[in-house]
Amino acid sequence: MHDVPDDHEHDDETEHPLWKLDTITLTSVGIDVGTATSQILFSQLVLRRLGRELSSRFVVTERDTLYLSPVHLTPYTNGRERIDDQALGQLVDDAYREAGLSPRDVDTGAIILTGEAIRRDNARAIADLFAAQRGNFVCATAGHNFEAQLAAHGSGAVAHSAEKLCRVLNIDIGGGTTKLAVAERGRVLSTAAFHIGGRLLSSDAANTITMIEPGGQLLASQAGFQWQVGSRVTTAAIERLASHMAQAILSLTQEEQPRTEFEQLWLTAPLSGPKNYDAVIFSGGVGEYVYGKQSQSFGDLGAPLGRALRKIISDGALPWRLEPARECIRATVMGAAQHTVQVSGNTIHRTDESLLPRKNLQVLRPQVNMDSDIDSPSVAEAIQKHFRAFDLVEGQAEVALVFRWDGPPTALRIAAFCRGLIAGLAATLKNHRPIYLIFDHDLAGLVGTILKDDFAIENALLCLDGVTLHDFDFIDLGNILEPSGTVPVTIKSLIFQF
């Protein structure tokens, strides 16, 4: 699982000062709180500086699992309306202890609340609590599209598309939702999610329904059942519902115009692009049943849905080649622990030590044309327009402004950019608020120096480079890592749907 070639000749070179400057080792944690299950994974990440094209950007070259927790049932209280924060916290604390780690040892990571778990009325409070108390810059993250990407990485679908130079559909069926991701040649092109999962309904040994989510009631109604908590169900009825769900999964992944009742299940926009794939991979808890890795039933829809999918696949209903998954139920937590961090270049500029660390900084990426002469008024207008587009007030909102630099970094061009930046941040400068600037190329030190020395701005200023960010990202910035002089940047999506 290497992102760039690595010769592995570390024994002698690890003590060399230049190797230490170009290599960073981080401890990462991934915490996946899903509708049905929760799990924790600790990893060690090794990042190395690219060292080409005048870049100081670091990329992940090695990933090693330090500890992988058992799969726990997600604890609920108060009739499943709330996640049991104390019980969940105990699970995580136990994982830290068994891994031989403390929150101080964690450099980065993510807590992912997914599926029906993000509908609970204390979901965001739990995420924020964990981010603050159980690890340095462990970030609170949730959202269907983001989880779809993590699952595609964790299942091996993205790696398979890169290795085979092909187009792969990853179908991640969890407890409350099904996430889709299209990967081609190592990149995720499109994601989507709909309301089908293995834990939307559960029953006891007497076949009495003990829990049914709104999504489970909708699916049961479509299959001809009006069920609620306390209803008695038969094995034949559960299998009929599972068959209906399996047909819906194949319909929504294959058909351009599915039946209206299936269309109602979308939680996001449908997948974009042609529905032509070289292979399909299943992941998530239900994926364990699809591949026959699990046979035990937990009183929910997971086992019957997995059996129904296996049957219709064996009958030839799946037009694409079925490939094995590297991970099924652990796909999301694998992705969470290994695909949430970047590290800045080492040409940073910081005027005030209080600027780091920093949590929950919203990213704005103004559309500025820098491939020719830089027009200062256009830079200012683009910045102001972007604040308005995100309903933010310039001078009050604290954001990270991200720019893609094209063309040579000449003094004339940088000066024109700085004049536009100053005009676009007039209220920020007046209110003495800190300024956070991030570039994809190695300009941070140069721009920061010119802003301070030539334009004499008095605001606290942090400039980073070598990081790829987009609108709708939120980031956590860690403390400077020595001896490399870099900053860990954790990227997250704070999307909570209730």
CATH code assigned at 121: 3.30.420.40
> Does 495 reside within a domain?
no
Which pLDDT does position 327 carry in this prediction?
85
Rounded mean pLDDT of 151-174? 93
* pLDDT classification of 5: cutoffs 50, 70, 90: very low
Which pLDDT does position 459 carry in this prediction?
96
Give yes or no for a contact between 496 and 118, defined as CB atoms under 8 angstroms apart. yes
Highest mean pLDDT range out of 130-139, 204-213, 331-340?
204-213
Which pLDDT does position 19 carry in this prediction?
52
Q: Do 69 and 163 belong to one domain?
A: no
Q: Do 312 and 166 belong to one domain?
A: yes
Q: Residues 6 or more apart from 283 whose CB is under 8 A from it?
A: 151, 154, 155, 157, 170, 171, 172, 173, 325, 327, 328, 329, 331
Distances (CA, A) of 95 to 50, 65, 98: 34, 13, 5
- Please check the confidence at residue 200 and state whether its pLDDT lies above 90: yes
Which of 118, 143, 168 is a domain's end point? Answer: 143
Q: Do 133 and 252 belong to one domain?
A: no
Q: What is the pLDDT of residues 186-198, one digit of tens each?
A: 888 889 999 999 9
> Does 297 reside within a domain?
yes
> Does 401 reside within a domain?
yes
* pLDDT classification of 108: cutoffs 50, 70, 90: confident
Which pLDDT does position 381 carry in this prediction?
96
> Does 104 reside within a domain?
yes
Q: What is the CATH number of the domain that holds 265?
A: 3.30.420
Q: Do 358 and 293 belong to one domain?
A: no
Q: Do 164 and 242 belong to one domain?
A: yes
Number of structural domains (the chain) is: 3
Q: Do 306 and 228 belong to one domain?
A: yes
> Does 5 reside within a domain?
no
Rounded mean pLDDT of 281-303? 92
Q: Do 165 and 136 belong to one domain?
A: no
Q: Do 265 and 374 belong to one domain?
A: no
- Please check the confidence at residue 361 and state whether its pLDDT lies above 60: yes
Which pLDDT does position 407 carry in this prediction?
86
- Amino acid (one-letter) located at 488: P
Q: Helix, strand, or coil here: 443? A: coil
Which of 120, 143, 166 is a domain's end point? Answer: 143
* pLDDT classification of 349: cutoffs 50, 70, 90: very high
Stretch among 69-83, 134-148, 282-296, 421-435 having the lowest mean pLDDT: 134-148
- Please check the confidence at residue 387 and state whether its pLDDT lies above 80: yes
Stretch among 20-34, 116-130, 247-261, 445-459 having the lowest mean pLDDT: 116-130
Which of 325, 357, 373 is a domain's end point? Answer: 325
Which pLDDT does position 104 carry in this prediction?
85
Q: What is the pLDDT of residues 32-91, one digit of tens each?
A: 887 778 888 898 888 776 654 445 556 677 778 899 898 888 888 876 778 888 898 899
Which pLDDT does position 96 carry in this prediction?
93
> Does 1 reside within a domain?
no
> Does 336 reside within a domain?
no
Rounded mean pLDDT of 402-412? 90
Q: Do 83 and 203 belong to one domain?
A: no
**Helix extents (H) in 315-409:** 331-338, 376-389
> Does 6 reside within a domain?
no
187 is written with which tokens?
A: 């990149």
Give yes or no for a contact between 443 and 322, defined as CB atoms under 8 angstroms apart. no
Q: Do 359 and 420 belong to one domain?
A: yes
Distances (CA, A) of 451 to 416, 447, 463: 11, 6, 10
**Secondary structure of the chain: what % helix, strand, coil (to 5)?**
35, 25, 40
Q: Do 162 and 299 belong to one domain?
A: yes
**Bigger pLDDT: 23 vs 290:** 290
Rounded mean pLDDT of 227-236? 95
Look up the domain containing 357 and give its range.
Answer: 349-479
Q: Do 295 and 268 belong to one domain?
A: yes
Which pLDDT does position 144 carry in this prediction?
82
Mean pLDDT of the chain: 84
- Please check the confidence at residue 228 and state whether its pLDDT lies above 70: yes
Rounded mean pLDDT of 149-162? 89
- Please check the confidence at residue 485 and state whether its pLDDT lies above 90: no
**Helix extents (H) in 121-222:** 123-133, 144-155, 157-163, 214-222
* pLDDT classification of 264: cutoffs 50, 70, 90: very high
